[in-house]
Structure 1
Amino acid sequence: MAASSNYVIEVRIDVLKTLKIAGLATGAIAAIGLGVYYFHQRTQRAKRVTFREEVKHILEPFQLTDEQLRRVMANLNTEMTNGLRSDDEREKNDLAMFPTYVHHGPSGQEIGEYLVVDLGGSNFRVSHVNIEGRNRIRLNNKIFLIPHSLLLGEGDKLFDYIAECLQRFIDDNKLALHKPADYKFDLAFTFSFPCNQTSLRQARLVSWTKGFSCTGVVGNDVVLLLQQAIDRHKGLNIQVVALVNDTVGTLMACSSIYRDCKVGVILGTGYNACYFENVDNVPKWKGVRDQSRKQIVINTEWGALGKHGCLDFIRTSVDRELDESSSTPNQQVFEKMISALYLGEIVRLIIVDLVQRSILLPGRMQKTPSLRSDYNIFLILRGSFYAKHVADIESDNTEDLSVTSSILTSIGIHDPSYDDCYLIREVCRTVSLRAAKLAAAAIAVLVNRLNQPSVTVGIDGTLFRHHEKFKKNLARTLSRLVPRTHRLVLSEDGSSKGSALVAAVDRRMRETGFSS
Structure 2
Amino acid sequence: MVPSSEYIIEFKVDVLKTLKLVGITTGVLTAIGVSAYYIHRNLQSSKRVILRDEVRNILRPFQLTEEQIRRVMANLNTEMTNGLKSDEAITNDLAMFPTFVHHGPSGQESGEYLVVDLGGSNFRVSHVVIEERNRMRLNNKIFLIPHSLLLGAGEKLFDYIAECLQRFIDDNKLSLHKSNDHQFDLAFTFSFPCKQRSLREATLVSWTKGFSCTSVVGNDVVSMLQQAINRRKGLRIEVVALVNDTVGTLMACSSTYRDCRAGVILGTGTNACYFENIENVPKWIGPRDNTLKQVVISTEWGALGKNGCLDFIRTDIDRELDESSLTPQQQVFEKMISALYLGEIVRLIIVDLVQRSILFPGRMQKSPSIRPDYNIFLILRGSFYAKHVADIESDTTEDLSITAAILTSIGIHEPSYDDCYIIREVCKTVSLRAAKLAAAAIAVLINRLNMPSVTVAVDGTLFRHHNKFKKNLIQTLDRFVPRTHRLVLSEDGSSKGSALVAAVDRRLKTASSTYEKNFPS
Normalised to the residue count of structure 2, the TM-score between the two structures is 0.89
Would you say the 8 A contact 1:260–1:456 is kept in 2?
Answer: yes
Give 1:54 deviation, angstroms: 1.7
Give 1:179 deviation, angstroms: 0.1
Would you say the 8 A contact 2:149–2:156 is kept in 1?
Answer: yes
Q: Corresponding residue for 1:324?
A: 323
Q: Corresponding residue for 1:510?
A: 509
Would you say the 8 A contact 2:110–2:134 is kept in 1?
Answer: no
Q: Corresponding residue for 2:66?
A: 66
Q: Corresponding residue for 2:488?
A: 489
**Structure 1 residues 360 and 228, CA, compared in 2 at 3 Å: closer, same or farther?**
same
Give deviations 1:90-124, integer Å, cap 9, x for gaps: 22000000000000000000000000000000000
Q: Corresponding residue for 1:76?
A: 76
SS of aligned partner of 1:257 = coil
Give deviations 1:112-151, integer Å, cap 9, x for gaps: 0000000000000000000002241000000000000000
| Corresponding letter in the other structure for 1:80 | M
Q: Corresponding residue for 2:246?
A: 247
| Corresponding letter in the other structure for 1:71 | R
SS of aligned partner of 1:458 = strand
User: Distance between the aligned counterparts of 1:384 and 1:433, measured in 2?
Assistant: 21
- The number of residues matched between the two structures is 475
Q: Corresponding residue for 1:27?
A: none
Would you say the 8 A contact 2:195–2:204 is kept in 1?
Answer: yes
Give 1:364 deviation, angstroms: 2.8
Give deviations 1:289-338, integer Å, cap 9, x for gaps: 11111000000000000000000000000000000111100000000000
Q: Corresponding residue for 1:10?
A: none
Q: How does 1:451-466 map to 2 (within 5 A)?
A: 451-466=450-465
Q: Corresponding residue for 1:210?
A: 209
Give deviations 1:400-445, integer Å, cap 9, x for gaps: 1011011111111111000000000000000000000000000000
| Corresponding letter in the other structure for 1:513 | S
| Corresponding letter in the other structure for 1:108 | G
SS of aligned partner of 2:284 = coil
| Corresponding letter in the other structure for 1:178 | H
| Corresponding letter in the other structure for 2:251 | M
Give 1:49 deviation, angstroms: 3.9
Q: Corresponding residue for 1:102?
A: 101
User: Distance between the aligned counterparts of 1:258 and 1:328, measured in 2?
Assistant: 37
Q: How does 1:259-278 map to 2 (within 5 A)?
A: 259-278=258-277
Q: Which runs of structure 1 show a deviation greater than 6 angstroms over 4 or more consecutive aligned residues?
A: 41-47
Q: Corresponding residue for 2:23?
A: none
User: Distance between the aligned counterparts of 1:475 and 1:48, measured in 2?
Assistant: 30
User: Distance between the aligned counterparts of 1:153 and 1:374, measured in 2?
Assistant: 30
**Structure 1 residues 246 and 47, CA, compared in 2 at 3 Å: closer, same or farther?**
same
Q: Corresponding residue for 1:196?
A: 195
| Corresponding letter in the other structure for 2:187 | A
Give 1:376 deviation, angstroms: 3.3
Would you say the 8 A contact 1:253–1:492 is kept in 2?
Answer: yes
SS of aligned partner of 1:198 = strand
Q: Corresponding residue for 2:469?
A: 470
User: Distance between the aligned counterparts of 1:441 and 1:376, measured in 2?
Assistant: 37
User: Distance between the aligned counterparts of 1:418 and 1:301, measured in 2?
Assistant: 42
Q: Corresponding residue for 2:55?
A: 55
| Corresponding letter in the other structure for 2:475 | R
Give 1:45 deviation, angstroms: 8.0
Q: Corresponding residue for 1:3?
A: none
| Corresponding letter in the other structure for 1:402 | S
User: Distance between the aligned counterparts of 1:371 and 1:338, measured in 2?
Assistant: 36
Give 1:44 deviation, angstroms: 9.3
Give 1:362 deviation, angstroms: 1.7
User: Distance between the aligned counterparts of 1:366 and 1:46, measured in 2?
Assistant: 28
Q: Corresponding residue for 2:6?
A: none
Q: Corresponding residue for 2:417?
A: 418
Q: How does 1:168-207 map to 2 (within 5 A)?
A: 168-207=167-206
User: Distance between the aligned counterparts of 1:372 and 1:62, measured in 2?
Assistant: 31
User: Distance between the aligned counterparts of 2:119 and 2:259, measured in 1?
Assistant: 27
User: Distance between the aligned counterparts of 1:221 and 1:386, measured in 2?
Assistant: 33
**Structure 1 residues 392 and 63, CA, compared in 2 at 3 Å: closer, same or farther?**
same
| Corresponding letter in the other structure for 1:126 | V
Q: Corresponding residue for 1:357?
A: 356
Give 1:66 deviation, angstroms: 1.1
User: Distance between the aligned counterparts of 2:299 and 2:323, measured in 1?
Assistant: 24
| Corresponding letter in the other structure for 1:370 | S
**Structure 1 residues 348 and 107, CA, compared in 2 at 3 Å: closer, same or farther?**
same
Would you say the 8 A contact 2:118–2:191 is kept in 1?
Answer: yes
Give 1:378 deviation, angstroms: 1.1
| Corresponding letter in the other structure for 1:85 | K
| Corresponding letter in the other structure for 1:59 | L
User: Distance between the aligned counterparts of 1:288 and 1:372, measured in 2?
Assistant: 65
Would you say the 8 A contact 2:259–2:454 is kept in 1?
Answer: yes
Give 1:372 deviation, angstroms: 3.5
| Corresponding letter in the other structure for 2:487 | L
User: Distance between the aligned counterparts of 2:364 and 2:252, measured in 1?
Assistant: 48
**Structure 1 residues 119 and 134, CA, compared in 2 at 3 Å: closer, same or farther?**
same
Give 1:513 deviation, angstroms: 1.1
**Structure 1 residues 362 and 220, CA, compared in 2 at 3 Å: closer, same or farther?**
same
Q: Corresponding residue for 1:7?
A: none
User: Distance between the aligned counterparts of 2:353 and 2:297, measured in 1?
Assistant: 42
| Corresponding letter in the other structure for 2:69 | L
Would you say the 8 A contact 1:347–1:428 is kept in 2?
Answer: yes
Give 1:69 deviation, angstroms: 0.4
Give 1:51 deviation, angstroms: 3.0
User: Distance between the aligned counterparts of 1:44 and 1:356, measured in 2?
Assistant: 24
User: Distance between the aligned counterparts of 1:420 and 1:380, measured in 2?
Assistant: 19
SS of aligned partner of 1:127 = strand
Q: How does 1:107-256 map to 2 (within 5 A)?
A: 107-256=106-255
SS of aligned partner of 2:213 = coil
User: Distance between the aligned counterparts of 1:496 and 1:43, measured in 2?
Assistant: 56
Give 1:512 deviation, angstroms: 1.1
Would you say the 8 A contact 2:83–2:93 is kept in 1?
Answer: yes
SS of aligned partner of 2:512 = coil
User: Distance between the aligned counterparts of 1:135 and 1:398, measured in 2?
Assistant: 45
| Corresponding letter in the other structure for 2:361 | P
User: Distance between the aligned counterparts of 1:444 and 1:364, measured in 2?
Assistant: 44
Q: Which runs of 5+ in 2 are unaligned?
A: 1-40, 516-521
Larger Rg: 1
User: Distance between the aligned counterparts of 1:490 and 1:400, measured in 2?
Assistant: 34
Q: Which runs of 5+ in 1 are unaligned?
A: 1-40
User: Distance between the aligned counterparts of 1:368 and 1:271, measured in 2?
Assistant: 41
**Structure 1 residues 42 and 184, CA, compared in 2 at 3 Å: closer, same or farther?**
closer
Would you say the 8 A contact 2:443–2:477 is kept in 1?
Answer: yes
RMSD: 1.8
User: Distance between the aligned counterparts of 2:194 and 2:367, measured in 1?
Assistant: 43
| Corresponding letter in the other structure for 2:220 | D
Q: Corresponding residue for 1:399?
A: 398
Q: Corresponding residue for 1:301?
A: 300
**Structure 1 residues 374 and 384, CA, compared in 2 at 3 Å: closer, same or farther?**
closer
